[in-house]
Structure 1
Amino acid sequence: MVVGELAHERDVIIIGGGPGGYHAAIRAAQLGRHVTLVERSLLGGICLNKGCIPSKILTQSAGKFTAFQDGEIWGLEGEAISVNLKKLNQYMKKTIEQLRAGIEALCRTNKVEILEGSASFLSEDRVGIEHGDRFEVFKFKDAIIATGGTPKKPLWLKEKSERVFDIHSFAELSETPKKLLVYGSDYIALEIGMAFQALGSEVIFILDEGKTEFDFDHSICRELKRMFKKKKINVLRNVDVMDSLLAEDHVVLTLESEGKSETITGSQLFISASIKPNTDQLCLNRIGVEQCPAGFIKVDHRSRTTQPNIFAVGDVTDGPALAVKAIKQGKTAAEAIAGIKSESDFHFIPLVAHTQPPIASVGLTEEEAIKMGHDIDIGQFPLSANGYSILTGQKDGFIKVISCKEKHVLLGIHMIGSGAIELISSGITALEMAARDEDMIFPNYPHPSVNEGLLEAVEALKNKAIHMPLSKKEERMKV
């Protein structure tokens, strides 16, 4: 079909049915716009079908497996259990299908039209949609790009192998790795590595050249070191991977660190690398949509591109590759299209890891706060002193609060321990509202609960935590 021929008229076209895309579609429909959602594969995108949801099912399995092993202290006795990855994958598939059906039902309820196919721009107000031998042209008023991203392969990985996988393909494993090499320092690497360790794998983390810690506050990294020593997890820091050998039954990596070379062998290799935006097939050069040097689409706080009627959300835009960002941007774009003055602000975007125990962080780390010139106070409360953590047997971890010493405004909150991911929402709200320490101390906290740990971490800013003993220095000062 030639551009200029008869085109189907549409109101809003959204390209991509992942978290950003389908949230944008439903919100735009709620606001009275007629929406057409184009998806070339499965609704829910990578997050639902291959990424976020499958990985969290894996981490849940690891958590339940660990809890069963600890059951004896609760008086629970029974035969030893084992891991059947094939059965777990069956449950994973069933859960994903159920969630996808839910998204489809929501789209139908909101009268969102769903078209299957690959879309590319023909002009500032037209897209071509290809599905098999069929090609159709659609004219639109507004469009939202939500095509996501794809993990980059490291340059040293020169061939494909069933023994190498990433966040998009780990669910294809049919058995628990005997010895898993994990390349990466982000939350995804931590989730996969710690989950498989809990399920019985020997795990070695490989931090790339220039990386000596994981992507969290240094206090959390120090706690991870302690836990890794206990779990017998090895971490190779600041190494450069020079080469890889992918054999039929194992993987060999050649590493270099401080001028010394060594080889390391594993049964499988997991890679958590940076994301490449899925923009190649969109033909953005035809419509003047500007991109960053790395290929990400430039957008403003309303998710608008350099074309006023075209928006972009999620992993195709610069910034953290997180579903929470895609969802917020999707809603913002839909509201902007509907004439609502809506903006996205990711200054206090949470970073979480569904590890054992979980990690949650928002705001400035201690290092970032100091680097920005803040004079800070730090309050830190160990969960080993929290009554609820003790009675549940989940005492590992702590809650750390960073505050401006002069203005008493909270700057960052970092947690590692059971309940951290649910509790971090209180921290996000506090930071968004520019809360002072007194704002966190005034409310009533449920007892017994991990929530009280957050209260005592804030109280610790002024050495007023009830369940934390005085330091030796403080004891001397009171004499």
Structure 2
Amino acid sequence: MAAKSFDLIVIGAGPGGYVAAIRAAQLGMNVAIVEREHLGGICLNWGCIPTKAMLRSSEVFHLMERAKEFGLKADGIGYDLDAVVKRSRKVAGQLSGGIGHLMKKNKVTVFMGAATIPAKGKVSVKTDKGTEDLTAKNIILATGARARELPGLEADGKLVWTYKHALEPAHMPKKLLVIGSGAIGIEFASFYNTLGADTTVVEVMDRVLPVEDAEISAFAKKAFEKQGMKIMQKAIVKKLDRAKDKVTAHIEVGGEVETHDFDTVISAVGIVGNVEDLGLEALGVKIDRTHVVTDEFCRTGVDGLYAIGDIAGAPWLAHKASHEGVMVADLIAGKHAHPVKPETIAGCTYCHPQVASVGYTEAKAKELGYDIKVGRFPFIGNGKAIALGEENGMIKTIFDAKTGELLGAHMIGAEVTELIQGYVVGRQLETTEEDLMNTVFPHPTLSEMMHESVLDAYDRVIHM
């Protein structure tokens, strides 16, 4: 059977791949996309979206428990974990189905199966019905990543879970250990802790949420501990002894090994790129620690082969993958393409309280040699935050003292994952402190704190 010919073949239909396919189709290309599991990838099916649905349930539950504070009555408050999970799966299913519709609408040909690249410009897809041979001048790798499994800490689905098991829990944990306090670990810790699990978080680095600004990490730790979480920093889980209904964790902290019993463990110790079984090594693609090495335009060094999203390295964020997908499609079409700069991409963590940031941390700005001005504003000084009953939080901004450039913004508190975009747009437009000071923020809103934080950096703060 003759090979089917396309202008572009995208391997992987997550938020990088499917967006690249849509953009390429908009630009008049004949596009094929290959997906071995679900349209929408991990993000829509087993990541960003279903976790947010579950976290929303725990947030509403938390608010119900606070009803009295708001002059409301709510008796017999409880939850049905199966129903919470069912809702999150329904949300994921709805969005995954929507991707199928988008592929049809944009005339993208979908092949469900596992892809290999036997030679440059060729893709072989193993489907349920046999093998499909495809050819294209350009190929985009968007195969994503999966949970890293450490020796001795492997998931079994019963006592030790990955994020996938945690999204479809076999039981409600009573005593939970979460290994790793990055976004995935801390979001699950937040969810299960809110629903009543006795939760311990172990982090190998010297602070929780280690990629965040140190001040935000410290604030978060205090908030988590107030909610009853136990946080162990500079700690390593050396091994897990598994019994019928419990796990004994050997945790090294401060040079001593302690043992603690748990009924459930969630391992969230990072991710590894899906680089295997594609034929990349034979093509001459350079792979470094499970990630494809690319230039700033996502080119692999093999003519016509690009890599985007998680497989191309940090930051491992859906919105970075999508933006790279658009950039590569534009590049292939001969349009002017802007490379994605990591420091322009916001990170959002949907724990309680939420955490969001963009740009450099205070430590990084100093390390890069900037003379800086730092502003801070607490939620307690904001009328809307107090009215919402969300007084716990802060906004921190970092400026270049010489030019007034906004170098970084870091937030913790209610809805900061929505607020951060104001600073992202500001940085994209190369705004200075003067522009931000002269912007009129609406009242009463949480966004006023963004204004006050800027004013504080220049000793002009009003409400503090």
The verdict on a shared fold, with TM-score over 0.5 as the criterion, is: yes
Deviation at 1:160, TM superposition (A): 2.7
1:476 corresponding residue in structure 2: none
Equivalent residue for 2:172, pick from 173, 176, 190 = 176
Residue of 360, 363, 366 corresponding to 2:362: 366
Residue 197 (structure 2) pairs with residue 201 (structure 1)? yes
The corresponding residue for 2:390 is 394
Query: Once the 2 structures are TM-superposed, how far is the Cα of residue 158 of structure 1 from its aligned partner?
Result: 5.3
- Does 47-56 or 165-174 show the bigger shift? 165-174
Q: For residue 300 of structure 2, what is the aligned residue in structure 1? A: 305
- What do residues 170-218 of structure 1 show as CA deviations (whole Å, max 9, x unaligned)? 112043211111111211111111121111111111012x433432111
Q: Residue by residue, what CA displacement relative to the aligned partner does 1:246-283 show, whole Å, maximum 9, x if unpaired?
A: 22212211112233111011111111122211111100
AA of the residue aligned to 1:349: I
What's the TM-score, normalizing by structure 1?
0.93
Q: CA deviation at 1:368?
A: 1.2
Gaps of 5+ in 2: none
> Aligned with 1:280: secondary structure?
coil
| Aligned match for 1:49, one of 38, 45, 48 | 45
Matched, 1:436 2:459: no
Runs of 4+ in 1 over 6 A off after TM superposition: none
Query: For residue 18 of structure 1, what is the aligned residue in structure 2?
Result: 14
What is the rounded CA distance, in whole Å, between the counterparts of 1:272 and 1:295 in structure 2?
17
In structure 1, the partner of 2:221 is: 225
Cα distance in 2 between the residues matched to 1:148 and 1:158: 20
- Range with greater deviation from structure 2 (410-419 or 344-353): 344-353
Q: Is the 8 A contact 2:285 2:300 kept in 1?
A: yes
Structure 1 residue matching 2:203: 3-state secondary structure: strand
Give SS of 2:257's match: strand
Contact 1:121–1:286, Cα closer than 8 Å, also in 2: no
| Amino acid paired to 1:333 | V
After superposition, where does 1:109-124 map in structure 2 within 5 Å?
Answer: 109-124=105-120
Residue pairs, 1:87-236, within 5 angstroms: 87-132=83-128, 134-157=130-153, 160-208=156-204, 210-215=205-210, 216-236=212-232
Partners of 1:212 and 1:457 lie apart in 2 by: 24
Kindly name which structure, 1 or 2, has the bigger radius of gyration based on alpha carbons: 1
The answer to whether structure 1 residue 271 and structure 2 residue 267 are counterparts is yes
Tell me how far 1:226 sits from its aligned partner: 2.3
Structure 1 residues 16 and 358: CA distance shift in structure 2, 3 A: same
Give the distance between the partners of 1:389 and 1:47, measured in 2 at CA.
Answer: 30
Report deviation, 1:437: 1.0
- Displacement, 1:161? 4.5
2:327 aligns to what?
Answer: 332
Contact 2:225-2:231 at 8 Å conserved across structures: no
Q: 2:365 corresponds to which letter in structure 1?
A: A
- State the distance in 2 between where 1:183 and 1:404 align: 37
1:323 equivalent to 2:318? Answer yes
Amino acid at match of 1:88: V
Query: In the aligned structure 2, how far is the partner of 1:38 from the partner of 1:201?
Result: 40
1:337-348 counterparts in 2 under 5 A? 337-342=332-337, 343-348=339-344
Contact 1:46 1:168 in 2 (8 A): no
AA aligned to 1:436 is: T
Task: Indicate if the aligned counterparts of 1:156 and 1:241 stay in contact, CA closer than 8 A.
Answer: no
Match in the other structure for 1:296: 291
Check the 8 A contact 1:220/1:415 in 2, yes or no: yes
What's the offset of the Cα at 1:361? 0.7
TM-score, structure 2 as length reference: 0.96
Asked if structure 1 preserves the Cα contact closer than 8 Å seen for 2:203 and 2:235, the reply is yes
3-state SS of 2:196 partner = coil
3-state SS of the aligned residue for 2:156? coil
Distance 1:75 1:296 in 2: 53
The verdict on how the C-alpha distance between 1:444 and 1:127 changes in structure 2, with shifts beyond 3 A counting, is same
Q: CA deviation at 1:9?
A: 1.9
* Contact kept? 1:161, 1:246, Cα under 8 Å: no
Question: Please, what is the CA RMSD of the aligned residues?
Answer: 1.5
Q: Does 1:75 align with 2:71?
A: yes
Percentage identity across aligned positions? 33
Task: Read off the aligned partner of 1:334 and give its amino acid letter.
Answer: A
Q: Aligned equivalents of 1:42 and 1:414: distance in 2?
A: 34
8 Å CA contact retained: 1:7, 1:137: yes
Q: Which moved more, 1:95-104 or 1:126-135?
A: 126-135
Q: Check conservation: 2:24, 2:330, Cα contact below 8 A.
A: yes
Q: Would the alpha carbon gap of residues 91 and 103 (structure 1) be closer, same or farther in structure 2, given more than 3 Å must change?
A: same
Would you say how many aligned residue pairs link Structure 1 and Structure 2? 462
The letter of the residue matching 1:322 is: L
CA distance in 2, matches of 1:400, 1:442: 18
Distance 1:178 1:242 in 2: 22
Distance in 2 (alpha carbons) for counterparts of 1:10 and 1:406: 51
After superposition, residues 233-248 of structure 1 pair within 5 angstroms as 233-248=229-244
The answer to whether the Cα contact below 8 Å between 1:55 and 1:167 also exists between their aligned partners in 2 is no
Q: Secondary structure at the match of 1:281?
A: coil
* Structure 2: distance between partners of 1:132 and 1:390: 57
Distance 1:20 1:158 in 2: 28
| AA in 2 matched with 1:368 | K
The structural deviation recorded for 1:383 is 0.6
Instruction: Name the CA distance, whole Å, in 2 between partners of 1:240 and 1:99.
Output: 37
Contact 2:315/2:342, CA 8 A, preserved across alignment: no
Read off the aligned partner of 1:319 and give its amino acid letter: A
Residues 287-313 of structure 1, C-alpha deviations (whole Å, 9 max, x = no match): 222222x13112222222112211111
Query: In structure 2, what residue type is equivalent to 1:142?
Result: N
CA shift for structure 1 position 385: 0.6
Between 352-361 and 280-289, report the one with greater CA deviation.
280-289
Give the partner amino acid of 2:308: V
